[in-house]
Amino acid sequence: MEPAYRGLGRCVCCFWLAVAFDVVGLLVLLLGVFVDVFFYDLLIYAGAIVIFLSLVWWVFWYSGNIEVLSAELEDDVGLTKKDKGGIGKAVRRLSNRLAGSIRSSVRRNGGTATGSLNRQGGGARRSAAAVAAAPRLEQVVVALATLKPIDERLHTCGSSVDHDDVEMPSTATESAPT
């Protein structure tokens, strides 16, 4: 038998925290409005923020006191009645078997495409199946350098470009999985 909750409900602590935040926030806000201090704006903003944060405790208190009948929970969380039979029971059994076989095949093959770590090697190595199944996602590093032309005749200088500098067209690099 569940205990009967009266008055404030189940989440009494959240209720009193919400009330305390409201009272403190209101006091700080009113201090900022009516007391003549040079930091009145700080008090007004701080009071408003504390009152806003009290909403978190109000939501916790409210959501903690929501009553849901077990009949309504049946579909949402997977609670099933024992006397149900027929097609629903067969479909549920088939669904559980299918999900279990998929789950076990994923475990057997080493996980998803990104690869799951081999538990026997302490997580440091991948299993052979995971390495074979997962595409290689290593980054390829390409180094580019600007070189001077070997033959001076190939270097034509029609503008104010110095003979020691070489103008190179802008290049783009890309790395692809190997």
Tally of domains within the chain: 1
* Cα gap 9→65, rounded to integer Å: 6
Is 16 a member of any domain? yes
User: For residue 166, is it within any domain?
Assistant: no
Place of tokens 């409201």: 22
User: Is residue 87 assigned to a domain?
Assistant: no
113 in a structural domain: no
Going by pLDDT thresholds of 50, 70 and 90, the confidence category of residue 144 is confident
Provide, rounded to the nearest whole percent, the portion of the chain with pLDDT above 90: 29
Would 22 be classed as within a structural domain?
yes
Cα separation of 101 and 51, whole Å? 52
Kindly report, residue by residue over 56-106, the tens digit of the pLDDT.
Answer: 999 999 999 988 777 777 666 666 555 556 787 788 888 888 888 888 887
The band of 39, judged by pLDDT with boundaries at 50, 70 and 90, is: very high
Question: What digits encode the pLDDT tens for the residues 108-139?
Answer: 776 654 444 444 444 445 555 555 555 556 67
Please state whether the predicted TM-score (pTM) of the whole model is above 0.75: no
Residue 36 domain flag: yes
Position 57 in a domain? yes
Does residue 126 belong to any structural domain of this protein? no
Closest CA to 44 of 30, 57, 55: 30
> Would you tell me how many other CB atoms lie within 10 Å of the CB of residue 86?
7
The residue range of the domain holding 28 is: 12-70
